[in-house]
Amino acid sequence: MRKLATIVLFLVIVSNSFGQSKNSPLQISHLTGDFYVYRTFNDYKGVKVSANAMYVVTKEGVVLFDAPWDKTQFQPLLDSIEAKHNKKVVMVFATHSHEDRAGGLDFYKQKGIRTYSGKLTDEILKKNNEGRAEFIIPDDATFTVGQYTFEVYYPGKGHAPDNIVVWFGKEKILYGGCFIKSAEAKDLGNLGDADVKEWERSIKKVQSKFKYPKYVIPGHDDGTTSESINHTLKLVQDYNLSNNTSSKSSQK
Q: Are 70 and 41 in contact (CB under 8 A)?
A: yes
Residue 17 CA from chain centroid, whole number: 19
Q: Which residue stretches of 22-163 are H helix? A: 74-85, 99-102, 105-110, 119-127
Which CA distances in Å does 19 have to 31, 80, 225? 15, 11, 23
Coil/strand/helix, residue 145: strand
Catalytic residues: 96, 98, 100, 159, 190
Q: Helices 74-85 and 2-18 sit at what angle, rounded to 10 degrees?
A: 120
User: Cα(120)–Cα(100) distance, rounded to whole angstroms?
Assistant: 17
